[in-house]
Amino acid sequence: MMLKYPNGKPYKPKNQTPEQVGTGKVKDFSFGNRGKTLEEEINETNEYYLSRQIAIVHKKPVPIQIVKVEYPKRSAAVIREAYFRTPSTTDYNGVWNGYYIDFEAKETESKTSFPLKNVHEHQITHMKNVVDQQGIAFTIVRFSKLDRYFFLPFSVLYESWCHMKKGGRKSIPLETFESKSYEIIPGYNPRIDYISIIKKFICNKEC
Amino acid sequence: MMLKYPNGKPYKPKNQTPEQVGTGKVKDFSFGNRGKTLEEEINETNEYYLSRQIAIVHKKPVPIQIVKVEYPKRSAAVIREAYFRTPSTTDYNGVWNGYYIDFEAKETESKTSFPLKNVHEHQITHMKNVVDQQGIAFTIVRFSKLDRYFFLPFSVLYESWCHMKKGGRKSIPLETFESKSYEIIPGYNPRIDYISIIKKFICNKEC
């Protein structure tokens, strides 16, 4: 049976054996970046930034409602009943050079457009709030079949979202990404260098 | 049996009945602020800030390593085996007026000093990283027995921490709070108005 989060994303225990649970040791069976999820690629990027003191960005844990916990003798507490809760924010946030950074990572299998059903109302609300407080909000979109990555500023996403709400198009065409967002060329390390894009983005607004 | 997180804090299911689980509805049996934890007071403050668009600050979920999930028919997914993980950051972060905000909330029963054993090495490391990236890092400390609250800038905490590491005092005396930190006078709404303190704090540094 495939495990899934309530949002439909498959649950991945990341090849952990029971002995590895809670130790932070996760064996990586992938070769290069083959088969890595966008989340894994961004986590690696964030680790790179952190280790070089370039930016401090973390993924937020999945929110859980805990109901029952057991305390076995001589071993770690075990959660025996808990439920997934709907997150009220995006997945990633942090700070770079005095700027507050807040973003979501999304993948699509489509080769021609990014379906807005991938984005939830609460994420739009949260990112709108962030931008109103002068934070930097964006979405990293990966077109998996094309192996292309984009930094989609919130303003562009919001325009499409509002348009959809008025009965307009339910997706953002690839051409809009090409003309109004920033393409991220994946590298080795950092893999998804979104900080270099933020520098361009700020410069385009302020320089 | 009292449920506890690995950090020794008691686990509070917040008076939820099974029907309320996952609905976000939590009945509040407290009267005024009597018996509220500092966490509850800060969550209320953050809700106030959010509703008035004053600041966007959220508590991060407790990080969990999920091992087993069940999918009962016609009801929500149930986590049947999961473990608490050590957080690598502080509990709260967000954005106010373009500033990145990052803090931890701590309570002490002591009437004379704040024991540094309440603070973990990873929290110090994280807050140091934040300050190096020009974010605002601090700790809200509640002296529960005195009913007094303080905004402890990271610089003051860090000084005491480094001093302790060199064999110095293992706690921060109340007098240091009175002379080097900012007292927060609790109000009705917002309860713990730390944003007004941040304004003073920035002004003292920049004005």
- CATH of residue A171's domain is 3.40.1350.10
CB contact under 8 Å between A66 and B13, yes or no, is: yes
> Given a cut of 60, is residue B22 above it in pLDDT?
no
Q: A163 in a domain, yes or no?
A: yes
Query: CB B18 to CB A67 under 8 A?
Result: yes
Q: Is the pLDDT of residue A21 over 90?
A: no
Other Cβ atoms less than 10 A from the Cβ of B181: the count is 21
pLDDT digits (tens, 9 = 90+) for A111-141: 999 999 999 999 999 999 999 999 999 999 9
Q: What does each C-alpha distance from A119 to A42, A91, A93, B131 come to in angstroms?
A: 18, 12, 17, 32
List chain B residues with CB under 8 Å of A135: 56, 95, 98, 100
Lowest average pLDDT, out of A9-18, A143-152, B73-82, B139-148, goes to: A9-18
Instruction: Tell whether ipTM is more than 0.85.
Output: no
Residue recorded with tokens 């009437």: B111
Query: In chain B, what residues touch A87 (CB-CB under 8 Å)?
Result: 61
- DSSP 8-class letter at B25: -
Residue B138 resides in a domain: yes
Provide the pLDDT confidence category of residue A207 given band limits of 50, 70 and 90. Answer: confident
Q: Please report whether residue B71 resides in a domain.
A: no
**pLDDT band for position A79 (50/70/90)?**
very high
Mean pLDDT of B33-54: 92
Take residue B53 and report the two structure tokens written for it. Answer: 């668009």
| DSSP designation for B4 | B
Record: contact B62-A67, CB cut-off 8 A:
no
In a domain, B107, yes or no: yes
Distance (Å, rounded) from C-alpha A82 to C-alpha A66?
4
Is residue B91 part of an annotated ligand binding site?
yes
Contact B13 A67 (CB under 8 A): yes
User: What is the overall mean pLDDT for chain A?
Assistant: 87
Residues of chain B by 3-state class (helix, strand, coil), percent to 5: 30, 30, 40
User: How high is the pLDDT of residue B130?
Assistant: 98
- For A16, nearest residue in chain B (alpha carbons): B67
Å from A126 to nearest chain B CA?
8
Range of the domain at A135: 35-61+87-206
The pLDDT score that the predictor gives to residue A87 is 87
Identity of the residue in B76, B95, B132 whose CB atom sits nearest the CB atom of A133 = B95
Q: A12: pLDDT confidence band, cut at 50, 70 and 90? A: very low
Q: If we measure between CA atoms, which residue out of A107, A132, A167 comes closest to residue A124?
A: A132
Between CA B172 and CA B120 the distance in angstroms is 15
Is the pLDDT confidence value at B93 over 90?
A: yes
Number of H helices, E strands in chain A: 5, 10
**The pLDDT of residue A2 is above 90:** no
- Is residue B109 one of the residues assigned to a domain? yes
Whether residue B178 is annotated as binding a ligand: the answer is no
B112-121 pLDDT, tens digit per residue, is: 999 999 999 9
Q: What is the pLDDT of residue B4?
A: 52
User: Which of B77, B80, B87 faces A6 most closely, judged by CB atoms?
Assistant: B77
Percent of chain A with pLDDT over 90: 78
Smallest CA–CA distance, residue A42 to chain B, in Å, is: 17
**Does B86 show up as a binding residue in the annotation?**
no
Q: Is the pLDDT score of B136 beyond 90?
A: yes
Q: Is residue B31 part of a domain?
A: no
Chain-centroid distance, C-alpha B73: 38
Residue B12, pLDDT above cutoff 90: no
Q: Which of A56, A60, A132 sits opposite B53 (nearest CB)?
A: A132
Choice among A6-15, B34-43, B81-90 with the minimum mean pLDDT = A6-15
Task: Please list, in sequence order, all residues whose beta carbon lies within 8 angstroms of the beta carbon of residue B50, skipping any fewer than 6 positions away.
Answer: A129, B56, B57
pLDDT-above-90 percentage for chain B: 78
- Residue A18, exposed/middle/buried by CB under 10 A (0-12, 13-18, 19+)? exposed
Nearest C-alpha of chain B: how many angstroms from A75? 11
Determine which of B95, B125, B132 to mutate to test the interface with A (most A C-beta atoms within 10 Å).
B95
Nearest chain A CA: its distance from B133 CA (Å) = 5
> Looking at the domain assignment, is residue A50 inside a domain?
yes
What is the arithmetic mean of pLDDT over B27-48?
77
Radius of gyration of chain A (CA): 19
Q: With an 8 Å Cβ cutoff, are A77 and B4 in contact?
A: yes
Query: Does B103 score more than 90 pLDDT?
Result: yes
Closest CB to B58 among A67, A80, A88: A88
| Domain count for chain B | 1
Output the pLDDT for position B24.
39
Establish if B151 belongs to a structural domain. Answer: yes
Would you list which residues of A are annotated within the binding site for Mg(2+)? 89, 91, 104, 123
- For residue range B50-70, list pLDDT tens digits in order: 999 999 999 999 999 999 999
Return d(Cα A169, Cα A113) in angstroms, integer: 11
Mean pLDDT to the nearest integer, A106-111: 97
Q: Among partner residues B67, B77, B97, which is closest to A84 by beta-carbon distance?
A: B77
Query: Per the structure block, which two tokens stand in for B133?
Result: 């990236």
Contacts of B22 in chain A (CB under 8 A): 65, 83-85
The strand ranges marked E within chain B are: 56-59, 64-70, 78-84, 92-96, 99-108, 113-115, 136-143, 148-153, 171-173, 182-184
Q: What is the pLDDT of residues B154-206, one digit of tens each?
A: 999 999 999 999 999 999 999 999 999 999 999 999 999 999 999 999 998 87
B38 pLDDT above the threshold of 80: yes
